[in-house]
Amino acid sequence: MSEPTRPLRAPTRLPLLLVLGLTALFAGIAAYRTLNSSGPPGLAAVYPEPRPLPAIALLAQDGSRFDRSHLTGHYTLLFLGYTNCPDVCPTTLMELAGARRALASLPASLQPAVVMLSVDPLRDTPAVLARYVPHFDPTFIGVSGTDAALQAWARALGAMYAAEPAQDGAYRVDHSAALFLIDPSARLLAVYPATPSAASLAADYAHLVRTRNGTS
Q: What is the pLDDT of residues 100-156, one digit of tens each?
A: 999 999 999 999 999 999 999 999 999 999 999 999 999 999 999 999 999 999 999
Residue 166 has a pLDDT of 67
Percent of the chain with pLDDT over 70: 78
- Domain count of the chain? 1
Core vs surface per residue 17-38: b (16+ CB within 10 A) or e? eeebeebbeebeeebeebbeee
Q: Which helix (H) or strand (E) holds 189?
A: strand 187-192
5 belongs to a structural domain: no
Any idea what the CATH number is for the domain that residue 181 is in?
3.40.30.10
Q: Is residue 66 part of a domain?
A: yes
Please tell me which residue, 32 or 106, carries the higher pLDDT value: 106
Average confidence score pLDDT of the chain: 84
In a domain, 102, yes or no: yes
